[in-house]
A and B are shown apart, each in its own frame.
Chain A
Amino acid sequence: MTPTLLDIHSVSLTFPGVERPILSNITYAVQTGDFVIVLGSNGSGKSSLLKLIDQRYQPSSGKINLDGKLLTSYRDKSFHCAVKTLTQNYHESLFTSLTVLENYLLIRQQYEPNLLAIKTQHESEFLQTYLSQFNTNLSSKLNQIVDQLSGGEKQALALALTVLYPPRILLLDEHTSALDPKSAEQLMSMTQQITEKYHITCILTTHDLAIAEQYGNRILALRNGKIHHRIENDKKQDFNQENLLAACY
């Protein structure tokens, strides 16, 4: 049996002054290699769940373990290497007034502090090769300022840089929702390529049932902060948009 990577145990989240809990008694285990799709209407608690996992929020009760250890027991740096988040807002993941290459250098220097002292020619070649594996034009735009890229390119760059040093868990919070259907499709196929190549466990929130049907191997549906429905990998026949719509909304 695949070992449990992330164990969410009886987790609740409330905000001071807000009567209704944002999340209530959530228990869910994520195994290595899972591609979990979290569905639910606006305000159901999808994004809050991801924020609990990446420690932007702390649970009001319950606990979350990563590899059997409490999330809070990890040092900041090792935690941020293990769990990474990408949202629909690329501004959170990129330095938009800097070039593609400068963004890459800033992310690499987190892992290699002496990097920026090295000539950037070698780094430039490395980045070009790295980006060319994805079906984008980014490899020819290393010296372009991020703000001048298209929305799809910015999200693709944000994803590529997020997994430059592959995390154990990738949290994707509606990362395709601001894109047109074609760009969203390209980004999802890039997401799948990346998670398969680097064996990354992925938890993705979305409203797009087609994405859930095509890419997920487990579905978690939230309603009013509670787990309303779950579909596991062995019930793949339930993964069709009609069933998902009925089950989740």
Chain B
Amino acid sequence: MMLASLISAIFTQSLTFLPLALGISISYSLLRATDMTLDGSFVLGAAVFARLVTLGISPVIAGLCALIAGSLAGVMVSFIQRGGRVDPLLAGVLATFILTSGNLALMGRPNINLLTQHTLVSTAFAQSNLAGWSLVALYSLSFCLISCLLVRSRFGLMLRALGDNPALLKRLGTPVETYRLLGFALTNSLAAVSGILTAQTVGYADVGMGFGMTLTGIGAIILGQQILRAMLKRTTLRVAAEFSACVIGVLLYFFAMNGLLRCDINPVYLKMILGIILIIFLRSAVNPNQKRAQS
């Protein structure tokens, strides 16, 4: 019974986190940029959705608006760092800084309760938990699938080329800033999707709910990548493997988190312990060749 509840917790939390993790994977592994804006876009998605739903707007329209708001956050960060004038990491931090105020202003208060509201999944959850989570899974996996298809298309090839060698891509006559903007719009809208789904499943939107999400996601993705590299005995991963690594990393992260919580660990120390576990995993996952090269 306890095992079933553990597995259920891992899968349900992973489902809402997966679009965000995929967004982080696209920005971190493909675009090679650590976009800290995703913390803010995650909350922005939840904030816009919750605010509009409480104003009586249809959940579908609220969801679409939240998605667009997320992509606009990506456009903003792309403009901040346009032409390499502001360091990408700093641009993300600045954008999140701006979004903290923006989200609070949008919500009008630090927390919006959605438990009594009609949302995209409320009817399904009213029938049964299984129906509710199945619908959440449908939404989450649909967005992930669309993103995967995009990344495997010509657009995705451009994003990967941009992350690899922007100078060469520019010399080839490609409008690199446009692709950077579209890439960030995609990753931030995925973060917003996670925010929308999380707000609906936990029953509220909170202005602080995105804190540390990007770093957690990066940690989970690196963990998944290292494990997959060791399993496949490869130093580089293709697109499909990158996404698989993302799923493995997210599942493992939530396994560790839920496992610790069930061991009665004080939640105050949770992130500290998770961070230490992540460090141990990452250090042990470095392959022997890398170790030799580093020494």
Residues of A within 8 A of B (CB): 76-77, 80, 91-98, 102, 105-107, 109-110, 116-117, 145, 147-148
User: Given A80, A97, A117, which contacts B164 in the complex, CB threshold below 8 Å?
Assistant: A97
Q: Across the interface, do A98 and B160 meet the contact criterion of CB distance under 8 Å?
A: yes
Is A110 a contact partner of B165 (Cβ separation < 8 A)?
no
Contact between B167 and A92 (Cβ–Cβ < 8 Å)?
A: yes
Contact of B157 among A94, A96, A106, A145 (CB under 8 A): A106
B173 near A95 with CB under 8 A, answer no
Please, which residues of chain A bring their CB within 8 A of the CB of B167?
A: 92
Does B292 belong to the interface (CB within 8 Å)? no
CB distance from A74 to the nearest CB of B (A): 14
B172 at interface (Cβ–Cβ under 8 A)? yes
Complex CA distance for A128 and B157, rounded to whole angstroms:
20
B153 to chain A, nearest CB (A): 8
Q: 1/0 contact trace for B86-101 toward A, CB 8 Å?
A: 0000000000000000
Secondary structure at chain A's binding surface: helix, strand, loop or mixed? helix
| Residue in A77, A80, A97, A145 with the greatest tally of chain B CB atoms within 10 Å | A97
Say yes or no for B171: interface residue by CB 8 A criterion: yes
Cβ of B6 under 8 Å from chain A: no
Q: Are A147 and B165 in contact (CB under 8 A)?
A: no
Please list the 9 inter-chain residue pairs (A to B) with the smallest Cβ-Cβ separation, ordered nearest first. Answer: A116-B154, A95-B164, A110-B172, A97-B164, A95-B161, A110-B173, A95-B165, A145-B236, A77-B173
**What residues of chain B lie closer than 8 Å to A105, measured between beta carbons?**
157
Q: Which residue of B lies closest to A54 (CB)?
A: B171
9 inter-chain pairs at a CB distance below 8 angstroms, sorted by A residue, are: A77-B173, A80-B171, A92-B168, A95-B164, A97-B163, A98-B157, A98-B161, A116-B154, A117-B154
Interface residues of B in 148-195 (CB under 8 A from A): 154, 157-158, 160-161, 163-165, 167-169, 171-174
Option from B161, B168, B236 in Cβ contact (under 8 Å) with A147: B236
Interface residues of B (CB under 8 A from A): 154, 157-158, 160-161, 163-165, 167-169, 171-174, 235-236, 238
Kindly list chain A residues whose C-beta atoms are within 8 Å of the C-beta of B236.
97, 145, 147-148
Contact B173 A116 (CB under 8 A): no
Chain B interface SS verdict (over half): helix
Task: State whether A93 touches B173 (Cβ < 8 A).
Answer: no
- A112 CB to closest chain B CB (Å) equals 12
Q: How far is the CB of B288 from chain A (nearest CB, A)?
A: 18
Cβ-defined contact, A96 with B154, below 8 A? no
Determine the distance from Cα of A8 to Cα of B204 in the docked complex, in whole angstroms. 70
Give the complex CA separation of A98 and B173 in angstroms.
18
Q: A116 and B157: CB pair below 8 A? A: yes
Residues of A within 8 A of B171 (CB): 80
Q: Which of B157, B169, B174, B235 contacts A102 (CB 8 A)?
A: B157
> A residues within 8 A CB of B158?
106
Complex contact A94–B168 (CB within 8 A): yes
B165 partner residues in chain A, CB cutoff 8 A: 91-92, 94-96
Complex: A38 Cα to B167 Cα, angstroms:
26
Residues of B contacting A76 in the complex (Cβ-Cβ under 8 angstroms): 173
A94 and B161 alpha carbons, distance in the complex (Å):
9
Minimum CB–CB distance for B276 against chain A, Å: 31
A145 proximity list for chain B (CB < 8 A): 236, 238
Q: Using Cβ atoms and an 8 Å threshold, which residues of chain A touch B164?
A: 95-98
* Residue in chain B with minimal CB distance to A115: B154
- CA–CA, A102 and B156, complex, Å: 11
Q: State the Cβ distance, A143 to closest chain B Cβ, in Å.
A: 9
In the assembled complex, how far is the CB of residue A46 from the closest CB belonging to chain B, in whole angstroms?
21
A106–B173 CB distance below 8 A: no
Additional pairs, 6, CB under 8 Å, beyond known A106-B169, A106-B172, A147-B236: A76-B173, A92-B167, A94-B165, A95-B160, A95-B161, A95-B164
B160, B168, B169: the one contacting A97 at CB < 8 Å is B160
| Contact partners of B173 in chain A: CB under 8 A | 76-77, 80, 110
Q: How far is the CA of A96 from the CA of B32 in the complex (A)?
A: 13
B105 to A: closest C-beta gap in Å? 40
Measured between C-beta atoms, what is the minimum distance from B224 to chain A in Å? 18
A157: shortest Cβ distance to chain B, in Å?
13
Shortest Cβ gap from A123 to chain B (Å): 12
For the complex, what is the distance from the CA of A148 to the CA of B233, rounded to whole Å? Answer: 13
